[in-house]
Each structure stands twice: as C-alpha cells, then as structure tokens.
C-alpha cells in the first residue's frame, strides 16, 4: 500500500490473527447459551470486530454504535453524544462491546454507562489494544488483545486522520517522513 509516513510494524498480522482466535475461543466458552448482542464502536472497531465475530462459535446479533468523543474536561461526567445508536434492544440480554483501543478510557466509560441504563443482563468489554499508561478513568475490561506502550498506532481499524485503517498489522507512525 502507498503510504506517506514511515510505519514501523509493532504487532504482526499473524500475531493479531492468533490472538483474535484465542479470544474468540475463550468467549465462545464463556458465553455459550447466552442471548448475545455484539456491539461494535464505529469506526475503529470494524476490522477487529469482523475477525472476532467469525472466531465466535455462537449465535450472535451484531449491532453498531457511534459516539462523539470530546477531549475536554467535562467528559468524566458520563455525558456522551450518540451519533448512531444500536438498532436492537439490549434489555435482559448479554452485551459484548468491541473496541479498537482503550486510551484514556473515557469513551468506553461513557458508552458503558449509556448501555448499563438500558438494563442488559451483563456487559463485557473486549479491546484489540490497551494503552494503560494513558488511563484517566477506570473501565472494567474483560479481554485485551495486546497491551502496548504509549505509541500512536494505526492499522486494523485504527486511523491517523482517517487513513491506514486497512493495514493488516498494527504499526507506529513516525512523523515527518515520506
Ligand atoms: P479513549 O476514550 O481515550 O479511551 O479513546 C479511545 C479512542 O481514541 C479509540 O477508539 C481511538 O479511536 C482513539 N485512539 C486512541 N489511541 C489511538 C491510537 O494510538 N491510534 C489511533 N486512534 C487512537
Ligand atoms: Mg475509536
């Protein structure tokens, strides 16, 4: 693929595939027999979600949500702007939220509260990547693909200004290089 930045591979495509299958197998055991709704947070989760749901040996309903994330100070109050909401009810059902990366934790903290208000039977969170050193609010995360240092990463759904989501590996962008 044509790139205008230098991108250093951090996690290879095969490592991501192996780990996704591992998580899928664990979730398939844990969630057997449940009335499962898989919630993907757009846009970043679409690639990991597509891979993970295919690694689930379960009946699932898939739905998407898109929220606006503000970087400001008021965000810890739990307010969140929903740009696109789920197209199904989650009351009494088991919810699995799929995220690309947890950074400050604010997005998931808010989304989790919004979904909790709808009285699901349970909420689980799975993320491809976790940057714990950047956390501002604690969120209970059930499955983490890979824990990474404080790098800005792209690929597997993650973007830099809208680009590089389709890279099949996770890479670190080195700025200023053509
Ligand atoms: P949080 O609310 O700070 O946890 O933000 C999570 C969101 O920030 C993710 O869903 C990503 O869209 C974005 N994000 C955080 N770190 C990165 C990164 O290294 N690369 C690309 N997007 C990121
Ligand atoms: Mg995102």
Element (H, E) at 110: helix 106-116
**Full-model pTM:** 0.93
CATH architecture of residue range(s) 13-151: 3-Layer(aba) Sandwich (3.40)
What tokens were used for 27? 């979730």
- Ranges of each domain in the chain: 13-151
Distance from Cα 156 to the centre of ligand 2, integer Å: 11
Q: Which atom of ligand 1 is nearest to the CA of 160?
A: 21
Per-residue pLDDT for the chain (178 aa), expressed as one digit of tens each?
A: 666 789 999 999 999 999 999 999 999 999 999 999 999 999 999 999 999 999 999 999 999 999 987 655 544 555 778 999 999 999 999 999 999 999 999 999 999 999 999 999 999 999 999 999 999 999 999 999 999 999 999 999 999 999 999 999 999 998 665 4
Q: How far apart are CA 33 and CA 64, in angstroms?
A: 22
Distance from Cα 157 to the centre of ligand 2, integer Å: 8
């Amino acid at each position: 693929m044509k790139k205008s930045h230098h991108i250093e591979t951090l996690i290879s495509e095969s490592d991501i595939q192996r780990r996704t299958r591992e998580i899928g197998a664990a979730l398939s055991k844990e969630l057997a027999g449940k009335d499962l709704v898989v919630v993907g947070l757009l846009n970043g989760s679409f690639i990991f979600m597509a891979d993970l749901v295919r690694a689930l040996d379960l009946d699932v309903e898939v739905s998407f949500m898109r929220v606006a994330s503000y970087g400001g100070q008021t965000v810890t109050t739990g307010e969140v702007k929903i740009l696109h909401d789920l197209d199904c009810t989650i009351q009494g059902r088991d919810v699995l939220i799929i995220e690309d990366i947890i950074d400050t934790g604010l997005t998931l903290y808010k989304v989790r509260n919004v979904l909790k208000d709808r009285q699901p039977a349970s909420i689980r969170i799975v993320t491809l990547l976790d940057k714990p050193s950047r956390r501002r609010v604690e969120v209970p995360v059930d499955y983490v693909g890979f824990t990474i240092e404080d790098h800005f990463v792209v690929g597997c759904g993650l973007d830099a200004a809208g680009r590089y989501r389709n890279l099949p590996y996770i890479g670190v962008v080195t700025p200023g290089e053509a």
